[in-house]
Amino acid sequence: MVPTSSGQVAQNTQAKPFVKLGNHEFQCGECPKVLSSSGGMRYHLKVFHDKDYSPPVCPYPDCGKIFRIQKYLDHHIDSTHNNVKNHLCDLCGKSLSTLFSLKIHKLYHADRKDHSCQFCGLKFRTIGRKNIHEKIHGAEKKFVCEVCSRPFLWKKSWRKHMLTHSGERPFKCDTCHKGFSCKWNLQQHARIHSNLRPYVCEWCGKAFTINQSLKEHRAKYHPQHLKPEASVE
């Protein structure tokens, strides 16, 4: 148990302890987590430390994905199974399923990369991307291409790579029916038909349909403004 200045120890309804650090600070007695309300701490204890807690499970056949709380399951059902996307980007018109997804999406328009890998210095837009990247340092790449022997850390990356050998292009454009090997390339291509140019050069104002074109433009016409920093998407 972590001692407090007041020496007071609060407990939740299931007799699992948490410590009151101050007026709006409660520390979990099971882990270092600190929250601003006793109600939030009781909820944390129930979800993360109660052995009898049963997390919600997706009811759709062939899914069965498990979530910590009901809110995450509701978002999953709306975005994955019902394809509900009510949050519209005012810069490019793309619809997203949650406000959080919209917030992350807008980072691509801002082209900010504030999170750096502690091992190699590569920069990322989100801390989640940075954390995923850092796992590659020293990790074993178990997924190996049967054609060219290229190894991959993630099964998803291996599957995407295998499409380059098979020539399969399962993602089709609804307008011109052109096929692509990954969904991201299709989304970039679709902007050609919409005439949307959300990526704007901050030095001359020229706009582009995809971020890669903006990067190439900057390197060619504004090299004096670019910082010599390692960076990835």
Q: Output the tens digit of pLDDT for each of the chain's 233 residues.
A: 333 333 343 444 444 578 888 777 888 888 888 888 888 888 888 888 888 888 899 999 888 888 888 888 888 888 888 888 888 888 777 788 788 888 888 877 776 788 888 888 888 888 888 888 888 887 788 889 999 999 888 888 888 888 888 888 888 888 899 998 888 788 878 878 877 787 888 889 898 888 788 889 988 998 888 765 444 44
φ and ψ at 112, to 5 degrees? -95, 140
Tokens of residue 96, six digits = 């997203």
pTM (2 d.p.): 0.39
Burial 59-92 (b: 16+ CB within 10 A, else e): eeeeeeeebeeeeebebbbeeeeeeeeebebeeb
Residue type, 202: E
- Read off the tokens for 153: 């850390």
